[in-house]
Amino acid sequence: MSLFTTTYDVIVVGGGHAGSEAAAASANMGAKTLLITMNLQNIAQMSCNPAMGGIAKGQIVREIDALGGYSGIVTDKTAIQFKMLNKSKGPAMWSPRAQSDRMQFAECWRNILEKTENLDFYQDSVNGLLFDGLTITGVKTNLGLEIKAKSVILTAGTFLNGLIHIGEKTFGGGRAGEGASTGITEDLVAKGFESGRMKTGTPPRVDGRSLDYSKMTEQPGDDNPEKFSYLPITKPLTEQRSCYLTYTNQITHDLLKEGFDRSPMFNGRIKSTGPRYCPSVEDKINRFAEKDRHQIFVEPEGWNTVEIYVNGFSTSLPEDIQDKAIRSIPGFENVKFFRYGYAIEYDYFPPTQLKHSLETKLISNLFFAGQINGTTGYEEAAAQGLMAGINAALKTQNKEPFILKRSEAYIGVLIDDLITKGTEEPYRMFTSRAEYRTLLRQDNADLRLTPKSFKLGLASEERMERVEAKKEKTTLLIDYLENLSVSKEEINPILTSKNLTPITQSMKLYKIAARPQLVFNDLLSIQKLNDFIYDNNIDSEIIEQVEIHLKYSGYIEKEKSNADKLNRLENVPIPSNFDYTKVKSLSFEAREKLTKIKPTSISQASRISGVSPSDVSVLLVYMGR
């Protein structure tokens, strides 16, 4: 098949985390897909830290896996350490995180993509877009090729008019060692799109052989590590590499301040907004002047490399200042640099210009995913890529878009936040952004999402069978506990060992197991229960589901009830051509915001900043409710 004569169903521009998931999803749903990237050696490159997951981000990776994406599988296959964060809190807060081998991660992703049917590759830079009126029809490349497509997904990362800053030096680039992408922004702005600039940064990478780990605190992985993917093709780690923790100090801060007059952050050369929750080290000591130290996480880049990622020391200060300041950190006295830190500015498009499907409102069949939408983080990008890939394939098949509600997935929260509220700084997901986080736990992403993805034809039959088995065994164990009576002779030794009040007569084990001071493992000395678990081949994953149900069913039911109420508003549609200027009872700000964002439902309208409850009531009257 020739690039000159083929019309693809979907072209994906960019081979980062968003582009890789988009290309895989689109191709796996039967769409003839082309992935165009500047450098095929850098597919799914971890441009920043060598890790996946973390608070709320870990939930997103599990959701991607449950939907049939690959980020969880690749992370499991290339992990060098695994941790379940927030285990001391309730299960809604538990968040998986893994350190990855950077080189293996990219290699594993490429191997998976190369084995994907319906997926072609092409190495080139896209510098223009082809339109027929208000419909995308393809792309133009740097070599002058015009490649036709029914739909296009832009996942350009930090490459759109990318500008790298190190001290007083500035040069074009999408990341260190790679050129920027030009032409796409200009074509979109000419079509009426609004664009903006954002900034992100990265720390130095150093030679681990030059560090003194005896001056740092070791941070090993979990004793019994878990994994991301629900599929048995990946296994938990049996060996792990440790990270280390050290701190900046007042000397570090004073040395960093010496370079402030040459810092692009402070001398006006960088005008765009950086990530609030991952600030540069100079930004931290400027904004939090009262703090006399900041954490520095020393993260290995893989199994077989000495390269170290200095997490917490993101900076665009001049090289000599980076060099001096980092040597004042305990353990870094004799450090050797591999790469200096830098900041990068790039174009993005305010995401209020998108529909829930991630298709643009202005141009049909054009989708945006990842940092082009103002997000930060591999996980947020991968989730958007997956959803854009699914929806681009569905669009070419003349099917309805696949949209996740806020009560169904963190991915639903992420996309709804972006298109409804927009973002003026790089958006990062947190558990606090999700009003239904007790429903959206990392442990039940497969139960929530795999049936939906299976209906689309993306999640495999094996995934669906495992979900059904998980449901059946969870119900089986809950029913057993509800019906099993235990005598005081059986249970009181367990209760007294935990300093709990003993029972005076036989009681259903379900009631006893719901006590917050008990964990399920405390009950396994009851022979009948132990035999039942063994006979029915019930594993730790099922036991975890049952324990969460026992202890949190009240909270879960309350959240479900709240979600159902709001979902009723989700079912009150607003016509796309509705004229808000005629509704004089709406506040001026509400009319302005509603006209700009064009919400598709009353529920979405209620989440727009500046739309008050009284405005929502007015809209409900107009919609016949």
Ranges for all domains in the chain classified under CATH 2.40.30.260: 205-342
513 annotated as ligand-binding: no
3-class DSSP string for 374-417:
CECCHHHHHHHHHHHHHHHHHHHCCCCCCCCCCCCCHHHHHHHH
**Mean local confidence (pLDDT), 55-73:** 98
Of 110, 98, 119, nearest in space to 35 by CA: 119
Q: 625 pLDDT band (50/70/90 cuts)? A: low
15 annotated as ligand-binding: yes
**Mean local confidence (pLDDT), 472-494:** 92
Tens of pLDDT, residues 340-388: 999 999 999 999 999 999 999 999 999 999 999 999 999 999 999 999 9
Q: 1 pLDDT band (50/70/90 cuts)? A: low
25 annotated as ligand-binding: no
Which pLDDT value is given to residue 338?
A: 97
Which pLDDT value is given to residue 380?
A: 98
Q: What are phi and psi of 255, to 5 degrees?
A: -65, -40
**Mean local confidence (pLDDT), 234-249:** 97
Query: E strand or H helix at 129, and its extent?
Result: strand 126-132
Q: What are phi and psi of 120, to 5 degrees?
A: -110, 160
Q: State which of 88-92, 139-143, 507-511 shows the largest mean pLDDT.
A: 139-143
286 annotated as ligand-binding: yes
Ranges for all domains in the chain classified under CATH 1.10.10.1800: 461-558
278 annotated as ligand-binding: yes
Which pLDDT value is given to residue 517?
A: 87
More confident site: 570 or 238 = 238
In the numeric block, the tokens 């001071």 are attached to: 517
DSSP 283-345: HHHHHTTT-S--EEEEEE--SS--EEEEET----S-HHHHHHHHTTSTT-TT--EEE--EEEE
**Mean local confidence (pLDDT), 263-283:** 81
Which pLDDT value is given to residue 617?
A: 85
127 annotated as ligand-binding: no
Q: 614 pLDDT band (50/70/90 cuts)? A: confident
Of 35, 370, 66, nearest in space to 228 by CA: 66
Task: Report in angstroms the alpha-carbon separations of 55 from 60, 84, 190, 442, 490.
Answer: 10, 10, 39, 10, 40
Tens of pLDDT, residues 399-413: 999 999 999 999 999
Query: E strand or H helix at 206, and its extent?
Result: strand 205-207
243 annotated as ligand-binding: no
96 annotated as ligand-binding: no
517 annotated as ligand-binding: no
Ranges for all domains in the chain classified under CATH 1.10.150.570: 572-623
DSSP 131-164: EETTEEEEEEETTS-EEEEEEEEE--TT-BT-EE
Which pLDDT value is given to residue 609?
A: 81
**Mean local confidence (pLDDT), 156-162:** 93
Which pLDDT value is given to residue 178?
A: 87
Q: Are 43 and 471 in contact (CB under 8 A)?
A: no
**Mean local confidence (pLDDT), 310-316:** 95
Which pLDDT value is given to residue 313?
A: 95
371 annotated as ligand-binding: yes
Q: 42 pLDDT band (50/70/90 cuts)? A: very high
Residues above pLDDT 90, as percent of the chain:
73
**Mean local confidence (pLDDT), 151-178:** 91
**Mean local confidence (pLDDT), 83-98:** 94
CA distance 126 to 186: 12
4 annotated as ligand-binding: no
State whether CATH 1.10.3720.10 applies to domain 572-623: no
Which pLDDT value is given to residue 588?
A: 87
Tens of pLDDT, residues 174-187: 888 888 899 999 99
Residue 224: CA atoms inside 13 Å, Cβ hemisphere, count?
Answer: 2
Task: Report in angstroms the alpha-carbon separations of 131 from 35, 147, 161, 181, 489.
Answer: 19, 12, 21, 19, 78
| Buried residues in 293-305 as b, exposed as e (16+ CB within 10 A) | ebebbbbbbbeee
Query: E strand or H helix at 166, and its extent?
Result: strand 163-166
Q: Residue 127: exposed, middle, or buried by beta-carbon count in 10 A (0-12, 13-18, 19+)?
A: middle
Tens of pLDDT, residues 591-613: 998 998 999 989 899 888 888 87
CA distance 561 to 565: 6
Rounded to the nearest integer, the mean pLDDT of the chain is 93
Which residues are CB-contacts of 625 (< 8 A; sequence separation ≥ 6)? 572, 602
The answer to whether the pTM exceeds 0.85 is: yes
Which residues are CB-contacts of 366 (< 8 A; sequence separation ≥ 6)? 129, 136, 151, 152, 154, 359, 360
**Mean local confidence (pLDDT), 488-497:** 90
126 annotated as ligand-binding: yes
275 annotated as ligand-binding: yes
287 annotated as ligand-binding: yes
What CATH number matches the domain at 461-558, 1.10.10.1800, 1.10.357.10, 3.10.690.10, 1.20.140.10?
1.10.10.1800
563-566 contacts, C-beta under 8 A, 24 or more apart: 563/405, 563/407, 563/436, 563/439, 566/406, 566/407, 566/603
Which pLDDT value is given to residue 277?
A: 75
Which CATH architecture is the domain 205-342 placed in?
Beta Barrel (2.40)
Q: What are phi and psi of 136, to 5 degrees?
A: -75, 140
CA angle (396 as vertex; 394, 3 as ends), nearest 5: 130
Q: Are 618 and 585 in contact (CB under 8 A)?
A: yes
282 annotated as ligand-binding: yes
DSSP 57-75: HHHHHHHHHHTT-SHHHHH
CA distance 265 to 262: 9
- 53-62, 109-118, 520-529: least confidently modelled range: 520-529
Q: What share of the chain is helix, strand, coil (3-state, %, to 5)?
A: 40, 20, 40
**Mean local confidence (pLDDT), 260-268:** 82
428 annotated as ligand-binding: no
Query: Which sign does the torsion angle of CA 279, 427, 83, 299 carry?
Result: negative
285 annotated as ligand-binding: yes
276 annotated as ligand-binding: yes
Tens of pLDDT, residues 502-560: 889 999 999 998 888 888 988 888 899 999 999 999 999 999 999 999 899 888 998 88
515 annotated as ligand-binding: no
